[in-house]
Amino acid sequence: MAAILPTFDMLLFGGTGDLVTRKLLPALYRRYADGQVSEESRIYGIARSMLTRAEYIAQAEAGCREFLGPECNAQAWSNFSRLLDYSRIDAGSPADYAVLAAALAERADIVRVFFLSTASTLFATIAGNLAAAGMVTAASRIVLEKPLGNDVASAELINHQVGMVFSEGQIYRIDHYLGKEAVQNLMAVRFGNALFEPLWRRGMIKHVQITVAEELGVERRGEFYDNTGALRDMVQNHLLQLLCIMAMEPPASRDPDAVRDEKLKVLRALRPLHARDVLTKTVRGQYRAGSVHGVAVPGYLDESDIAPDSTTETFVALKVEIDTWRWAGVPFYLRTGKRLQDRLTELVVTFDDVPHPIFEKPPPSEAANLLVIRLQPDESITLTILAKNPGEGMRLKPVNLALDLGETFKTRSLDAYERLLMDTVKGNLTLFMRRDELDAAWRWIDPIITGWHEYDDKPKSYIAGSWGPSASSALIGRDGFEWHDEL
Ligand code: BG6
């Protein structure tokens, strides 16, 4: 059982939305069932719908049952539901905040977390209205869901406006990948073992691949997705954060700023992809009808709330270079997409060949030492080494040293939101993005989008259930490499 946290009030804006229902309330329920949330804490769903408290609790319960299954226990749920309340607020209407402000007024000294799970265009308005209603106390924090803004300029404006109400130390910019157990484990592997550090550089590593593949399509988020696309939805945040953790220098400590300073240096060292580069170093894709694990699925353009002539990308592959002494000349290949063959998040480090082979050469696809760190669906670390094939002669074969982390620790990992929500209560900013990180990420992303427009680079179509457009294989193939699943 986890240690109990100080009593808090948590206010979930976008309280009837997908994220709150699928992730935040189940995460809070789990932390409550595990004894970490005090009975005096309160959780408010906040949205525009006319709902009574009882109706909101019924909705929340249905969501928890759907997403947690039998883990959502009747007795524990009934106890947890006593913490829940609902407040009808139109985010843009200052007068609507008064009732909630009055309800919270007597608890002004406890931790107060405003979680904004709304479009980022509302962040500044909500922050301003919270301040005007006198709801922002010294013990308040604001949590901003990604994507924060649409480009550098919009992100800067939001940061500036929210920054007029909350200090930087009170702003928690969420990227839920940073809360995943497996991502933490990546830090543990890199910085808890002396073994890897001497190998983690040019001259030892040939290239690195980062894949975040999803089987899901756009689900109920068509309108949001069509205005966003895979580059902004996944690369600007999740993939770049994974890249930072892979590539950063060892921080001097686990202090939030020590870690964030190192990630920022990576973001600032990314070689810009300007104009024509997009044609050779990026691939955009969009899925057409196909089948995923034997189930027929529609194409992107036939999903609900998608413009029939949409050119939004549902897949991106990129070649990324990092201009530092450690990484000069080592390409990082990133790809992500919806409706791909499998759900898979994987980091693959391909080490250099031996400088002088004395054994019969194995075929190129078998020749490499690989370190595969799998984050989803299961967590594992596999190191491929070459060993002697039994029998006569001296033929080498790749064999795996494989560690299944689920099997080894035999315990359920915390869901990313469980950890991150509790971190907001504890006041731990380590796993949240600082303003300058976000700015640096957008500064690298914006020219790619401009380049796509300038060169009218339309997405290439791929069949749902595949690994993306063939141009993605060609992108990495031009450098003489293959994606790990193609080996
Ligand atoms: C979200 C994206 O940030 O991450 C979604 O907006 C995506 O489009 C999701 O499906 C993937 O998260 P996970 O934790 O399921 O890998």
Assign 400 a pLDDT band (cuts: 50, 70, 90).
very high
* Residue 376 alpha carbon, nearest atom of ligand 1: 16
Mean pLDDT for 45-62 is: 97
- Smallest CA-to-CA distance from 56 within 34, 95, 89, 93 is with 89
Q: What is the SS3 assignment for 62?
A: helix
Residue 290: the pLDDT is 98
How much distance in Å is there from the Cα of 17 to the middle of ligand 1? 15
- The yes-or-no verdict on residue 366 having pLDDT over 80 is no
- Is residue 373 predicted with pLDDT exceeding 80? yes
| Helix/strand/coil for 291 | strand
Please check whether residue 143 is in contact with residue 115, taking contact to mean a CB–CB distance below 8 angstroms. Answer: yes
> What 3 state SS string does 202-246 have?
ECCEEEEEEEEECCCCCCCCHHHHHCCHHHHHHHHHHHHHHHHHH
313 contacts 231 by C-beta, under 8 angstroms: yes
Report the percentage of the chain scoring pLDDT > 70.
99
> What pLDDT, in 10s, does the model give residues 420-464?
999 999 999 999 999 999 999 999 999 999 999 999 889 999 999
Q: Does the C-beta of 215 come closer than 6 Å to ligand 1?
A: no
Residue 257 has pLDDT above 70, yes or no: yes
> Could you give the CA distance from residue 304 to residue 179 in angstroms, rounded to a whole number?
31
Both tokens assigned to 278: 């997009």
- Read off the pLDDT of each residue in 284-299 and give the average, rounded to a whole number: 97
Which ligand 1 atom sits nearest the alpha carbon of residue 177?
A: 14
State in Å: Cα 57 to ligand 1 middle.
Answer: 25
CA distance 188 to 309: 45
Instruction: With beta carbons less than 8 A apart as the criterion, state whether 439 and 152 touch.
Output: yes
Per the DSSP assignment, residues forming a β-bridge with 286 are 461
Please check whether residue 29 is in contact with residue 37, taking contact to mean a CB–CB distance below 8 angstroms: no
For atom 6 of ligand 1, which residue has the closest CA?
A: 233
Q: Inform me whether the pLDDT recorded for 338 exceeds 70.
A: yes
Q: Which of 329, 341, 119 is CA-nearest to residue 228?
A: 119
Contact yes or no for 478/333 (Cβ under 8 A): no
Closest residue to atom 2 of ligand 1, CA basis? 233
Q: What is the number of the ligand 1 atom nearest to the C-alpha of 221?
A: 8
- Beta bridge pairs of residue 359: none
Residue 9 in contact with residue 135, Cβ under 8 Å? no
Residue 365 has pLDDT above 90, yes or no: no
CA of 128 to the centre of ligand 1 (A): 29
19, 23, 176: which to mutate for ligand 1, most atoms within 8 A of CB? 176
- pLDDT, average across residues 178-186: 90
How many CB atoms are closer than 10 A to CB 151? 16
Nearest CA to ligand 1 atom 8: 233
Locate the ligand 1 atom nearest the alpha carbon of residue 237 and give its number. Answer: 3
- Residue nearest to ligand 1 atom 15, measured at CA: 214
Query: Model confidence over 189-244: pLDDT tens digits?
Result: 999 999 999 999 999 999 999 999 999 999 888 999 999 999 999 999 999 999 99
Distance 147 CA to ligand 1 centre (A): 11
| Arithmetic mean of pLDDT, 314-342 | 98
- Name the residue at shortest CA distance from atom 9 of ligand 1: 234
Distance 368 CA to ligand 1 centre (A): 31
Using the predicted structure, report yes or no on whether residue 275 has a pLDDT greater than 70. Answer: yes
Q: Where are the alpha helices (DSSP H) in 69-118?
A: 74-81, 98-105
Cβ atoms < 10 Å from Cβ of 323: 11
Can you tell me which residue has the tokens 């308040």? 140
Ligand 1 test: best mutation among 146, 214, 343, 418, most atoms within 8 Å of CB?
214
Rounded to an integer, what distance in angstroms lies between the CA atom of residue 262 and that of residue 155?
21
Which atom of ligand 1 sits closest to the CA of residue 180?
Answer: 14
CB atoms under 10 Å from CB of 435, counted, come to 18
Residue 175 near ligand 1, beta carbon < 6 Å: no
- Other CB atoms within 10 A of residue 106 CB: 8
C-alpha to C-alpha distance for 20 and 115, rounded to whole angstroms: 10
Which residue, 479, 244, 207, 247, is CA-closest to 351? 207
User: Which of 224, 227, 238, 241 to mutate for ligand 1's pocket (most ligand atoms within 8 Å of CB)?
Assistant: 238
Q: Confirm or reject: Cβ of 233 under 6 Å from ligand 1.
A: yes
Tens digits of residue pLDDT in 217-228: 998 889 999 999
Closest ligand 1 atom to residue 216 Cα is: 10
Better pLDDT: 271 or 405: 271
* Contact (Cβ atoms closer than 8 angstroms) between residue 196 and residue 469: no
CA distance 74 to 157: 45
Tell me the residue type at 380: S
Question: Whole-angstrom Cα distance, residue 97 to residue 128?
Answer: 11
The answer on pLDDT for 36 being more than 80 is: yes
Of the pLDDT bands very low, low, confident and very high (cuts 50, 70, 90), residue 392 is confident
Ligand 1, atom 4, residue with closest C-alpha:
234
pLDDT higher than 80, residue 487: no
Predicted confidence at residue 367, as pLDDT, reads 67
Q: What is the mean pLDDT of residues 385-393?
A: 90
Which of 234, 343, 345 has the most ligand 1 atoms within 8 A of CB, as the residue to mutate?
234
Lowest-confidence segment of 135-139, 143-147, 363-367 by average pLDDT: 363-367
Q: Report CA(24)–ligand 1 centroid distance (Å).
A: 14
Q: Is the pLDDT of residue 134 over 90?
A: yes
The span from the CA of 379 to the CA of 345, in Å, is 9
pLDDT band at 412, cuts 50/70/90?
confident
Distance separating alpha carbons of residues 432 and 419, to the nearest angstrom: 11
Q: What is the mean pLDDT of the chain?
A: 95
Task: Give the distance (Å) from ligand 1 centre to CA of residue 145.
Answer: 12
197, 160 contact by CB (below 8 A): no
- pLDDT surpasses 70 at 115: yes
Kindly give the distance from the C-alpha atom of residue 236 to the centroid of ligand 1, in angstroms, as a whole number. 12
Active-site residues, by number, are 238
Question: Ligand 1 in contact with 214 (CB < 6 A)?
Answer: yes
pLDDT value of position 152? 97
